[in-house]
A and B are shown apart, each in its own frame.
Chain A
Amino acid sequence: MKTTAKIAVIILTGLVWAVPAASQDKGGLVKKQNSLNSEYSLAKDSNFYFVLDFLGRKLELRVRGMVLRSWSFQSMRFWGRPELSGNVELVRKTALRAPERIVIKPGGNAEKVEGAPAPVAKPTGTDPAEFNLEALELKDMPKKFSFDFDNGLRILVKTKKAASGGPVGSMREAWGWYVDLPLRNLFGAPAGTGLSELELTFDNEKDAQSIYWHFFDGIKGIIL
């Protein structure tokens, strides 16, 4: 009798576990189908596109289904309308200190946006990586910036270092995130213009800089 009861308990437990697992599998399969459909519509053209995978905590640059670069983010937080997933297009990238190109006008006045003469190396040490070049390089890219997408989503990208701008910077950031954003969201919500803001923090500052480098206006992507 006891054995029968034990078996019944085991079977019932199995059923309780199995039903949600099966439904999760189904959900996962449909999700996979949708994401593959979205990606195929982008990958069949020769253009670069990106995939932002929340659960996988990674952002990838791809072409033809092939991953060119992958960046893992350390943390993320979000405010506003959560309808993020789907196909998006980058409308604008904004940085407080956007990099500027060096303009050379031989015969005229060399300017620096405006710099000086042609890209000539000025050795400051023995390591070629230390040469100060008249060029736009990865190290000139901002470590904190935002992307605005056509569906109203704004993604703020930053590095841990860029985030800690001293006590004043931290206070300003906390005010922005915990007071300003909720209030803007509140007053925009009834009109349907509530914001949708996602913040991604990267450990490595080069990651943020290379994202700025590789993401150009008009790039399309998928948010999973």
Chain B
Amino acid sequence: MSQVRVLGELAVLDDVGPARRGRAYPAAGATSALLLPAAVLLGGLVLWPVLRTMHASVTTDGRWVGAAHFRTALAAPGTGAVVGRTILWALLVPAVVTALGYLLAAASRRSQEGGLVRLILLVPVALPLVVTGVTFRLMYDPDPSRGLATLVATRLTGRSVEDAPQLLGPGTVTVALMSAFVWAWVGLAVLVFRSALDAVPPSLADAVRAYGGGRRHVLWDAQWRPLLLRTTAVVFALVAVGTSRTFDLILVMTPGSVRDEASVLALRIWQTSGGTTTGDGAALGVVWLVAVIGGIMVAALFVRQAWPPPRVEAAAEPAPAAPPRRVFRLLAAGAAIAWLVPMAVLVATSAHGRVDAAARGWWSTAPNVESYRNLVTGTELWRTLGFTLLLATAVTATVLVVALLAAYPLAWLTGPAAQATGLLLLAASVVPIQVIAGPVNEVLGLVLSSGTAQGLALVHIALGVPFAVLVLRNAFADLPVEQVRDARLGGRRWWHTLRRLARHNLSAVVAVSVLEFVQVWNDLVVGRLFSASGASPLGPFLAEQTRSFVSNSGALAASSVLASVLPVVLVVLSRRHLVAGLVSGGVR
């Protein structure tokens, strides 16, 4: 690529980037065998269960029944509302997260406090969604003498304490859930937008200005068209897929009486089928699966790019540019403070004993360490943390090995074959586990007993592999020709080459490891569906305690805080690798 950038060039980069990795290095036949572990896992625990679910949706005990299950499932009372609410989640929440993410990324750039703001926004990303749910249920507690948000709403509306607005009531429960979700996800959008904004060469904006363009034109021609359109699509798709995780929030935040008013497809399928396969549940699952995979394919069309991906010149150190306007900086600071409040509520509640936390607000009594002392001196939390640590470590290590092995041969593919594998991996990584839980249980029963720790780990591994392969494959393919050549010449065997290449891709490896570890650590639904006997992972352990929320809130808040330390530390420490690893691979 030429060194002189002119306006418009970046905009067409996507389609005409010169191939830069040697196609002179086709995959050797033997390396295809490296795909085997990944193929077996995905075939057995994702592909077959998907096919089995489709089969179950049109049969009863093996007999063809056509669309009967679909008719029953869709005609069941409330299904229309459930589908509508699921769509609302998948459209409204990503739109809000994307818009907020862009605004805050732009507002926190190039200012002194910007780094701190982004750090604060990042913490909720790392929290288990169960903990987010606990946090917001504490905030929205219907009693204004305990729930901070209810107290504020009571004051604002000027109502009496006895007539306090019910934020978790049937009318507003979905809004309450969405607010928790947005709180948890905006940090991720900020992270991605920030790296996209940094990748836009400032010279482009200068060029626009030189042609007499105003602020609006700079935004449009120097930011939106070349880069942000795609980033927006990526963030939107990411969050839309993420909304299938609302399951965790609904389970933790909604009392039984409003669960119907909050229900989405994920919950409905779980209520219909649990960990087994039923015709009605399978029919709903197929509907959902088609929607998710269709949506992600449309998003993929938006973000498609030349394969192998074109090289982006290392941007020159950006010239010291002016920080954003004062009003934007204030916006960023305000957001940071607003984002801190729920965390403060969680910590403050955890600093109260059982009776104090249940009977009055955390602001009305002095803090103590009773809840922590009871937890730390008991054995149950330690057993759970130890088991989850072991599980997450074992799963991460296995996923990394399997994905590295598979990514290596896949990175050499070109043309339609490369695109097809990319789309397949993308589709496999968004399959919701609730849809295939029944068949997965059957497979586990065949290979080893389900309801064992090994079975649970296997499901986690199978669910983690597609995304890991995708990121690592893209990272391998991104490597400059010289590095690949050196590695090939220097390595005597393929695994030497693989090791050398992996070393060049440290960011991607770190990103995959951290994300997988945090994913398993924070999980609720897989643990709930496939939990081992005897040992319970963290997510189900916390969710189980929410069955009697108020009388347990002190201990629940304290165990939530303790459960969040490790993922938060990991994500915060590795945040640069996360961005670099994902941007060079999965996201871009």
A and B found bound together: no
Residues of A at the B interface (CB closer than 8 Å) are none
B interface with A by C-beta (< 8 Å): none
